[in-house]
C-alpha cells in the first residue's frame, strides 16, 4: 500500500494535524492559482477535523467546497453530510454559499449522481477528470472509503466521475465520487481514528491487495500525495512505518 501515515496520541491531536495539513495545501493552491478546491467526507469522524479547520485562518472566500460522498436525503436531514458540514465547517468558517457545490440528495441517488457529475464538469471546464487540490476522506471499520463499500464493482471504475450506490448500512442510497477523481487529486488526506479501524487498516496497508474487499486500497493507485492521519488506537495493529 502506497501512502504515508502519521500516528498521534489521540483523535483530537490527529484531527488538528490533519487540519493543518489540509490548510497548508489549500493555502498553496490559493497562492499558486488564486483559488482552491476541497472535497470533504461526512459521518461523525470529521467533526473534530472540521472544528480544527475553522481555526486555521484559511481564506475561505477562495475555497470552493465539494463532497466526496452524500446520502440521498434532503440538505436539512440529520443524515446529510452537507448538513453536518454546514454546522461544523461552513457556517463557522463563513464559506460563501456561492462556493458550495453540493450533491442534491433530495432528488434521489441516480438523479443526484448525474447532476453532480454535470456540476463537476462545469466546475472544472476542459478537464477530462477534475483535479482537486485536496480530497478529504475517511475509512470505515469495513475499509470503505467515500461511499465505496466492499463488493462494489465501482472500485474498478475508470471513466465516470460520480455514481449512485447502495450502502450496506442506513441510509443505503448514496452518491459517491469514483476512483478516477480520487486518483487525480493533488492531495488526498485520510482521517481515520478509532480502535474499530485497526483491523481494517492492517489489511489495507499490510494485507494482499484486494480493493474489492478493502476499497481503501484503491488509494494505492495514486501518484500524488496521500497522507493518513491516525490515532494510536487505529494504528495498534500496524507495523512501524519506515
List, for residues 134-151, the tens digit of each pLDDT value.
999 999 999 999 999 999
Q: Quick one: pLDDT band at residue 166, thresholds 50, 70, 90?
A: very high
Which residue stretches of the chain are H helix?
11-33, 46-54, 81-85, 91-93, 109-123, 179-184, 198-206
Looking at residue 240, its pLDDT comes to: 80
Other CB atoms within 10 Å distance of the CB of residue 55 = 13
For residues 56 and 19, the answer to whether their CB atoms sit within 8 Å is: yes
Domain boundaries, the chain: 4-220
Among candidate residues 11, 104, 5, the one with its CA nearest the CA of residue 51: 11
- How far apart CA 92 and CA 86 sit, in angstroms, is 8
Looking at residue 210, its pLDDT comes to: 96
| Phi, psi of 8, rounded to the nearest 5 degrees | -125, 160
Looking at residue 4, its pLDDT comes to: 87
* Secondary structure class of 189 (helix, strand, coil): strand
Looking at residue 242, its pLDDT comes to: 63
Among candidate residues 204, 208, 207, 209, the one with its CA nearest the CA of residue 226: 204
Mean of pLDDT values over 171-199:
97
Indicate whether 2 pLDDT > 70: no
- How far apart CA 105 and CA 101 sit, in angstroms, is 12
Mean of pLDDT values over 152-181:
96
For residues 79 and 44, the answer to whether their CB atoms sit within 8 Å is: no
pLDDT in tens, 202-224: 999 999 999 999 999 999 866 67
pLDDT in tens, 17-54: 999 999 999 999 999 999 999 999 999 999 999 999 99
- How far apart CA 199 and CA 168 sit, in angstroms, is 19
3-state helix, strand, coil in the chain (%, to 5): 40, 20, 40
For residues 27 and 53, the answer to whether their CB atoms sit within 8 Å is: no
Indicate whether 180 pLDDT > 60: yes
**Judging by DSSP bridges, how do beta strands 36-40 and 162-166 pair with one another?**
unpaired
* Secondary structure class of 240 (helix, strand, coil): coil
Mean of pLDDT values over 194-204:
97
Class in CATH terms, 4-220: alpha beta
For residues 225 and 43, the answer to whether their CB atoms sit within 8 Å is: no
- How far apart CA 153 and CA 56 sit, in angstroms, is 38
Q: What is the mean pLDDT of the chain?
A: 96
Amino acid at each position: 500500500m502506497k501512502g504515508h501515515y502519521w500516528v498521534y496520541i489521540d483523535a483530537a491531536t490527529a484531527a488538528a494535524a490533519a487540519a493543518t495539513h489540509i490548510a497548508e495545501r489549500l493555502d498553496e493552491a490559493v497562492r499558486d492559482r488564486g483559488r482552491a478546491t476541497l472535497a470533504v467526507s461526512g459521518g461523525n469522524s470529521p467533526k473534530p477535523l472540521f472544528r480544527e479547520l475553522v481555526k486555521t485562518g484559511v481564506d475561505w472566500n477562495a475555497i470552493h467546497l465539494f463532497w466526496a460522498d452524500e446520502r440521498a436525503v434532503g440538505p436539512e436531514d440529520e443524515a446529510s453530510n452537507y448538513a453536518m458540514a454546514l454546522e461544523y465547517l461552513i457556517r463557522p468558517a463563513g464559506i460563501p454559499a456561492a462556493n458550495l457545490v453540493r450533491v442534491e440528495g433530495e432528488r434521489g441517488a441516480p438523479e443526484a449522481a448525474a447532476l453532480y457529475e454535470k456540476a463537476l464538469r462545469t466546475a472544472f471546464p476542459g478537464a477530462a477528470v477534475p483535479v482537486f487540490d485536496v480530497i478529504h476522506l475517511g475509512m470505515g471499520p469495513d475499509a470503505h472509503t467515500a461511499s465505496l463499500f466492499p463488493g462494489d464493482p465501482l472500485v474498478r471504475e475508470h471513466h465516470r466521475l460520480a455514481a449512485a450506490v447502495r450502502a450496506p448500512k442506513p441510509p443505503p442510497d448514496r452518491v459517491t465520487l469514483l476512483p478516477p477523481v480520487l486518483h487525480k487529486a493533488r492531495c488526498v488526506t485520510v482521517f481515520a481514528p478509532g480502535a474499530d479501524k485497526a483491523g481494517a487498516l492492517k489489511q489495507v496497508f499490510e494485507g494482499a491487495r484486494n480493493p474489492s474487499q478493502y476499497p481503501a486500497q484503491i488509494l494505492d493507485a495514486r501518484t500524488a500525495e496521500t497522507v493518513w492521519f491516525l490515532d494510536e488506537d487505529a494504528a495498534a495493529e500496524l507495523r512501524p512505518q519506515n
